[in-house]
Structure 1
């Protein structure tokens, strides 16, 4: 085979390989190597822009590498020992300046339009406030008096523990499932107000083409309008601490009637053991640490203050408190209360668990230092979890009743 024939085959093979890669990228969905096409208008636009840029890069790559390979082979020193002595060309200089400029303008104009539309939250049908915590999300339907926490599912949390012995490949949606998904109606423009309570998080759902930082003390806005019912998953996209990988996002898009029924159920006062906002705590603040998983009940309470129930038997409080503790505190303070020093102290002999009952209650309700408040827990739940801590691991604290919690709740 002649050298020119070999060169032609090489260039052709390179071009075909790049075209094949592009074809593969076009056919991939969210389960493949390419970015998902998405289920919103903005997601479709973003995917379209992505593929246009990919096509331009593929063409440029074929041309540039083709010329490079041709030059290396046909203008090597052994073949042309005397180098060319031509000088610069004004036409060539103008061409390779104008062509990239035209390409960039051609890509920038549609991209700018998409970015503007992504930020246009006007005329939204509803608003959801999203607050990031270490390590969970709180969702509040603004104007509906409905709010709940969404935390890593109990199955995933149990499987991720060191020495659990659980085969994670058999856990459904391992590390990308939650106890309380965010419910949204299909076909409605939803405005998101995104912030954080402790450190910087980022709320990211690829199928929506929505990714926004959640910054303490600052509110970012973004919106979506879901076209298809289904369950869509995302993650926190900002390195937010030790359990960064364990605060997934799950959104369920449902028909409007089903969404209305969901809101009605929430407003009906159905209760759950809500997942509390986690925090790093000192030994003087070892009461409810950052969340791992809330109880497996399905319906969450609103953040409204619940009425106190009558006093309960200490044994019942301890029994109930153990479940609340394991759902909210065990990931950091460990199921046996030994903690993970220095950030998550042991509860054995804790000054708070063995100290005045009022101080213990107030620390749970109002927080302290880096520990956020836990007002979303009912009086019964606060009484149960604090009593469990005060009566376990050799602690000698007093029993706390719901009426004591109600008296201090303000």
Structure 2
């Protein structure tokens, strides 16, 4: 919104400036060979106006722009923190305070269709090369903080509609954040934006933005699922028929 507001201010300034130039060119045009009268026009008041007014306009644009730039880098007061780790060729999402972690890769249909000899027409695959098996799930109206890093080479987590593009560098953690308005749930797509090897083109990003209630339900189910998967298998129960018989020792025979 701020970008478009400043754009229209610039358009208005351009119209005024170029309009004045064109008017002056037409009004004071002279035929070839005309001799100028040599009169110099000076107006201190006009010069002061065209100096002060641009300064005021620049300040009026600079203040909200600077405030926005500071806000873009401000990752404090976040409600959800997710560690994003890029690898060849996919992403790992780790919900640091919820005990949930999983990998996100190119979906199977796209992965199969991209093979030259697969015989699958890519046009029949929905969102070809832009779908994943496990999207990043976040709630609406929540400031989500991302800690972005990489496990091997440099990647870049990029979702255009969020205005977020952050490099994932091995051994280094970059920070970013985003918030989706409560009336804009849905799927948002992005890609790795840093050339990272052979399958760089095949590591898309999908963010599934849900209502807070749906997100809480998903998170609870995901945490329970991973907790169950991580639990050691229970020892098999021993049935009475399988239990060894108690050992008995007969008293030794005595001679009469």
TM range, normalised to the smaller chain? 0.7 to 0.9
Paired with 1:73 and 1:168, the residues of 2 have a C-alpha distance of 60
Q: Identify the match of residue 83 of structure 2 among 129, 132, 138.
A: 129
Paired with 1:243 and 1:97, the residues of 2 have a C-alpha distance of 55
Match of 1:246 in 2: 202
CA drift of 1:141 comes to: 0.5
Q: Secondary structure at the match of 2:207?
A: strand
Paired with 2:112 and 2:21, the residues of 1 have a C-alpha distance of 55
Match of 1:21 in 2: none
Paired with 1:122 and 1:147, the residues of 2 have a C-alpha distance of 23
Do residues 142 (structure 1) and 100 (structure 2) align?
Answer: no
CA drift of 1:180 comes to: 0.6
Deviations 1:106-157 (A, max 9, x none): 1111112222223332232221101122332110000322211111222223
Relative to structure 1, the CA distance from residue 90 to residue 132 in structure 2 (aligned partners, 3 Å threshold; closer, same or farther) is farther
Relative to structure 1, the CA distance from residue 136 to residue 104 in structure 2 (aligned partners, 3 Å threshold; closer, same or farther) is farther
Match of 1:53 in 2: 6
Q: Secondary structure at the match of 1:187?
A: coil
CA RMSD of aligned residues (A): 3.4
| Matched positions, count | 229
Any conservation in 1 of the 2:100–2:226 contact (CA below 8 Å)?
A: no
> Which blocks of at least 5 consecutive residues in structure 1 are unaligned?
1-47, 272-300, 309-410
Q: Identify the match of residue 16 of structure 2 among 60, 63, 77.
A: 63
Paired with 2:22 and 2:220, the residues of 1 have a C-alpha distance of 67
Do residues 110 (structure 1) and 74 (structure 2) align?
Answer: no
CA drift of 1:263 comes to: 2.5
Relative to structure 1, the CA distance from residue 264 to residue 94 in structure 2 (aligned partners, 3 Å threshold; closer, same or farther) is same
Match of 2:152 in 1: 198
Paired with 1:65 and 1:125, the residues of 2 have a C-alpha distance of 49
Relative to structure 1, the CA distance from residue 130 to residue 66 in structure 2 (aligned partners, 3 Å threshold; closer, same or farther) is same
Q: How does 1:6-405 map to 2 (within 5 A)?
A: 48-67=1-20, 79-82=31-34, 91=44, 96-162=50-116, 164=118, 166-226=120-180, 227=182, 228-269=184-225
Q: Secondary structure at the match of 2:148?
A: strand
* Structure number with larger C-alpha Rg: 2
Relative to structure 1, the CA distance from residue 96 to residue 186 in structure 2 (aligned partners, 3 Å threshold; closer, same or farther) is same
Q: Secondary structure at the match of 1:245?
A: helix
Relative to structure 1, the CA distance from residue 128 to residue 69 in structure 2 (aligned partners, 3 Å threshold; closer, same or farther) is same
Paired with 1:151 and 1:269, the residues of 2 have a C-alpha distance of 19
Tell me: higher relative CO, structure 1 or 2? Use CA pairs within 8 A at least 6 residues apart: 2
Deviations 1:276-333 (A, max 9, x none): xxxxxxxxxxxxxxxxxxxxxxxxx98x6x869xxxxxxxxxxxxxxxxxxxxxxxxx
> Which blocks of at least 5 consecutive residues in structure 2 are unaligned?
234-256
Paired with 2:90 and 2:151, the residues of 1 have a C-alpha distance of 11
User: What TM-score, normalized by structure 2, do the two folds share?
Assistant: 0.72
The structure where strand makes up a greater share of residues is 2
Relative to structure 1, the CA distance from residue 165 to residue 95 in structure 2 (aligned partners, 3 Å threshold; closer, same or farther) is farther
